[in-house]
Amino acid sequence: MALGQKSVIIVRPATQDDIDFVANVLLLADIERNQKKQGWNEKAFLKQAKTTTEDEVQENVKDSTTYVIESDGDRVGRLRVIRTSEQLKIAGIQVLPSYQRKRIGTAVIESLIQEGKTKGLPVVLDVAKDNPNAKRLYLWLGFEQCGESDDHFWMTI
| Domain boundaries defined on the chain | 9-156
- Model pTM above 0.85: yes
> What percentage of the chain has pLDDT greater than the value 70?
97
Nearby residues of 5 by Cβ (< 8 Å), 6 or more positions away:
none
Per residue in 66-114, pLDDT (tens digit) is 999 999 999 999 999 999 999 999 999 999 999 999 999 999 999 999 9
User: What fold, for 9-156?
Assistant: Aminopeptidase (3.40.630)
Torsion of CA 13, 135, 141, 107, to 10 degrees: -30
**Residue 124 belongs to what H/E stretch?**
strand 123-128
